[in-house]
Copies of this chain bind each other. A is one copy, B any other.
Amino acid sequence: MTLNEISKNLNIECSNDVLITGLNTLSDANENEISFLENKKYINDLKNTKAAAVFVKEEFASQVPENTVALISDEPYLKLAYASKLFAPKLFDMVGKEPIIGDNTTIMPNVYLGVNSIIGKNCTIMPGAFIGDNVSIGDNCTIYPNVTIYRDCILGNDCMIHAGTVIGSDGFGFANTKEGKYIKIYQNGNVVIGNDVEIGSNTSIDRAAFNSTMIGNGVRIDNLVHIAHNCVIKDGCILVGQIGLSGSTILNEYVIMGGQSATSGHLEIAPFTTIAARGGVTKSITEPKKQWAGFPLMDHRTWLKLQARIAQLLK
């Protein structure tokens, strides 16, 4: 689709026929992608973007770089939402290659394998599993019953996905109209999972809005964990039951989070950090190897001290 066609579709004036392949953030967009500025916080990213075009309010139009087209709108995020639908892949492809299945792999009954899917060697795909179009699964993987892997997701080798878990469901994203209607941001990214990852049962990992939700090598994820879109979980992290990670959380290597702990979105946690059970992380943690607890989060020893003070209060 050309920028022209897209603009016309969204009722924005523009006369540029560069080919557009998708949407992306200001910092990640390439010269064939459209981006957006909704939050002033990202103004520096705007100045440095390589995007072909940017949805932007008039007041920031002058900050748009020379090689980038300013698509001026009062509601740039809403325009992004409408545009996202134009790039959404189909729910399933009508045509494509037969699935490729490696040696010594067992596909049990009632499994759905989408077109262009690739399953490696020595895998077992158990009954009721759904493997969407273009999904790629490495060698020596076990996909337990009733797992759903949405289209375009990628798993490495030696992974084990327990029953009922969902990989690649849509992130929770939408823009508001002035009339109070929510317009879906189509989640056109995917989930990419490394090697040697075990994921428990009934866990949900959302696909990215753009690019990929990333799960690194050796990660262990327990049951009923919620991982929102665009999270990046690096090698060796451990996520215990019922954790909730908000969108775009970055966990660096070997972060350990206790049961029912959570993060608010768009923050980063330093390597080898430990978050106690129920801890609620609302800001980035930059110093590695520390232990935290509580909500709001505090140094684990401070939290213990706080409990002592609270006990005193009660005397």
Interface residues of A (CB under 8 A from B): 91-92, 108-110, 112, 124, 126-128, 130, 142, 144-146, 148, 150, 160, 162-166, 169-170, 172, 174, 180-182, 184, 196, 198, 200-204, 206, 218, 220, 222-224, 226, 228, 236, 238, 240-242, 244, 246, 254, 259-260, 262, 264, 277-278, 280, 295-296, 302, 305-307, 309-310, 313-314
Question: Which chain B positions have C-beta within 8 A of A305?
Answer: 314
Question: Which chain B positions have C-beta within 8 A of A198?
Answer: 170, 174, 184
Question: Which chain B positions have C-beta within 8 A of A246?
Answer: 241, 259
Partner of A174, one of B202, B220, B260: B220
Task: Tell whether, in the assembled complex, residue B172 and residue A162 are in contact, meaning their CB atoms are under 8 Å apart.
Answer: no
Q: Which 6 A-B pairs have the closest CB atoms?
A: A148-B163, A130-B145, A169-B201, A204-B223, A112-B127, A166-B201
Partner of A164, one of B91, B166, B254: B166
Task: Tell whether, in the assembled complex, residue B302 and residue A306 are in contact, meaning their CB atoms are under 8 Å apart.
Answer: no
CB distance from A264 to the nearest CB of B (A): 6
Task: Tell whether, in the assembled complex, residue A146 and residue B128 are in contact, meaning their CB atoms are under 8 Å apart.
Answer: yes
Question: Which chain B positions have C-beta within 8 A of A202?
Answer: 164, 166, 202-204, 224
**14 other A-B residue contacts (CB within 8 Å) besides A91-B124, A128-B148, A164-B166:** A128-B130, A130-B146, A130-B163, A148-B163, A160-B170, A163-B166, A170-B200, A180-B236, A182-B218, A182-B220, A246-B259, A260-B262, A296-B307, A302-B314
A274 and B86 alpha carbons, distance in the complex (Å):
32
Given known A112-B145, A218-B181, A220-B174, contact A264–B277 (CB-CB < 8 A): yes
